Structure 1
């Protein structure tokens, strides 16, 4: 027992004083450099915090007194803001909003929400102190990227919660899981897209090929093939294609881990091995080719993966492939699934692999699904090799086709023990 009792209100008062003082101290420093009238400082803000605390303490469980006190402080701050704009002209409202926040934090402490009050003050101080950096960031980020982020929030925070989470029809179509797959694949591609956009011309061809593999190895292959034809490039372009295609194995493994951990565990060693062998081969190839040939430009994505049309197209392809897998399983069994995997992988590997992940252990046995994933990935590598041969400079196309055929055949070896 302490030598004298300490009232809980004493600790609360100290917390209010400390948090409000920090806000007042930040505003006091801003006042010293502003050169014009700014409301409050290291004394005023703690007093506002005490006011909020005292009113909330007296109100008990009543909300109305706290609200009336908030309106009173808001009216006082509005008068202060009117005084400021009459003398300064254009003026921000950051200080006045901070004053309102100080009143709220006093009330929060009185109600026992200490963590929330502290978190609000810490985050507010970060926003206040990072003013210049945040304003510069807003100038550097194009409005189109802000719109894209809004689309991502639309896909995740608005549409996803509204989608029913139950299976429909004999095919076992679950709209929630379908849209969750769309969000996950689009989000992973968007992360790569953002990193590529941020690095710009500073990115090396190796880092850009890796990011291209995370975004879409097929798209990276098409971009590199076309540029090799424009610039008469050779081995460097082929090595970049192989590197992007090797990273695809890691991308698929991450997506499987998110949606079907059992299938990911079954394929972890083969996929990691393929990614390691392919990446090592591509990096050695790229290092030997550097300095002797025209170096490839960075294969940055030009299509934003969060475009709503792209998301709906992915959902449509995913749905068609899910139904197709269900049909071939019942008509031709495992042999039909394997044949369908080669064909679907050559078209678009992500939605097909995700459809297998949804059906693994249900309509499709887990070992069958694991073999089907490897067949789809091998078919996809072979298809990209053909794209490189048709679209690229002839030497580049032949080299890329050889590297991707090697990866395709290597990806079939695990079928011997799966």
Structure 2
């Protein structure tokens, strides 16, 4: 019955109804400004008329682009007159309403040409932008210029540089520049995402939340930052708990990065790494919740620097290539024990380049078993190094407890060597 009724209605009538409805929604939103005492162009009558103009001009021109463009220019001239008139009344006049009028004209043209989904989506997005004016303007006040520059750098790394890098193996070590830079983008993306969350939750959630998010940024960096803060405070339990829980985030970050490039290796590591992450998180939370009776200061959360620096990205790419070469040489000439030794030494610095190197080598130049064990050794070694960092920078109870707990986590992290 409904199908028969719809078939009896001319298609033009349905299109006109849709144009009127979509245009009316924009006009209704603009009508609210009049109720607020502002003098603006158009409302619930003018905007539907503009939509009809767009549809009729497209109909009369037979969908010809020149005819629709000519109508757009005429409507644009009216919008310009309206804007100039507003400027004579106030220097703070906005052009949002006039742009909405041009958009409504385009909605009529889109409906005529059959782009119904796009016309509806365009109106919905426009309504959101118009209604969220205060929220969006408040966002511009909260976002600093350096944050915009940082996001621009990420777009440069991912959307500009990456497509230009050749995707083929080069040299005797078969280094693929595209895959190398893809690793840089992935690592930078994870670190930048955690950095953005840290900024968003600044001064909320205390040390514990900043330690979790900072662990995804860099567990080594966050350990050093918290240890230095602990040296000047009287909250050993809170800072120790934060340092331990950062290692939980490290294990999850490693799994996420490995999963992006080698699913089989990630599945091999997942059971034990998830257990280690749970032990670190629960242990850190338990220590964090213990009372510090001598605490008189206010705990200060950690706020690392922005990770998106082009110099750091290129440096990471160079280190990653070196790690790929070192890994292949160690596998070829040193055997299993040699690879484990390299993995242990990598714990003294940033383990990410070595781990990503093993991720690419797993299943190609080495076995999944050796790659998984090497990653476990490097993560365990890094925990021990962080323990000594905490002991050196924090001193006192925070340094001693952190060294003991991270030392225990190091021993647990080596247990996979028995069964992996």
TM-score by length of 1: 0.95
| CA shift for structure 1 position 10 | 1.9
Matches of 2:392 and 2:240 in 1, distance apart?
13
Q: 308, 326, 329: which is aligned to 1:327?
A: 329
Matches of 2:255 and 2:126 in 1, distance apart?
39
Q: 1, 5, 9: which is aligned to 1:6?
A: 9
Q: 1:54-82 CA deviation, whole Å, 9 max, x = no partner?
A: 22233345321111111111112111111
Q: 94, 104, 116: which is aligned to 1:114?
A: 116
Equivalent pairs counted in the alignment come to 417
Contact 1:236 1:295 (C-alpha < 8 Å) held by counterparts: no
Map 1:74-153; keep pairs closer than 5 Å.
74-153=76-155
Q: 14, 19, 30: which is aligned to 1:16?
A: 19
Q: Between 25-34 and 273-282, report the one with greater CA deviation.
A: 25-34
Map 1:339-350; keep pairs closer than 5 Å.
339-350=341-352
Q: Between 153-162 and 210-219, report the one with greater CA deviation.
A: 153-162
Map 1:124-273; keep pairs closer than 5 Å.
124-231=126-233, 234-273=236-275
Contact 2:220 2:386 (C-alpha < 8 Å) held by counterparts: yes
Matches of 1:5 and 1:407 in 2, distance apart?
74
Structure 2 regions of 5+ residues with no counterpart?
none
The residue number in structure 1 matching 2:306 is 304
Contact 1:237 1:296 (C-alpha < 8 Å) held by counterparts: no
| CA shift for structure 1 position 155 | 1.7
TM-score by length of 2: 0.94
Give the secondary-structure state (helix, strand or coil) at the position aligned to 1:79: helix
Change (3 A) 1:14 1:372: same
Matched, 1:374 2:382: no
| CA shift for structure 1 position 7 | 2.1
| CA shift for structure 1 position 291 | 4.1
CA root-mean-square deviation: 1.8
Change (3 A) 1:351 1:57: farther
Change (3 A) 1:395 1:151: same
Give the secondary-structure state (helix, strand or coil) at the position aligned to 1:347: coil
Contact 1:53 1:110 (C-alpha < 8 Å) held by counterparts: yes
Change (3 A) 1:177 1:302: same
Contact 1:224 1:296 (C-alpha < 8 Å) held by counterparts: no
Give the secondary-structure state (helix, strand or coil) at the position aligned to 2:203: helix
Q: Between 155-164 and 382-391, report the one with greater CA deviation.
A: 155-164
Matches of 1:95 and 1:34 in 2, distance apart?
15
Matched, 1:414 2:416: yes
Contact 1:379 1:408 (C-alpha < 8 Å) held by counterparts: yes
Q: Between 159-168 and 216-225, report the one with greater CA deviation.
A: 159-168
Matches of 2:303 and 2:311 in 1, distance apart?
16
Contact 1:212 1:299 (C-alpha < 8 Å) held by counterparts: no
Contact 2:237 2:290 (C-alpha < 8 Å) held by counterparts: no
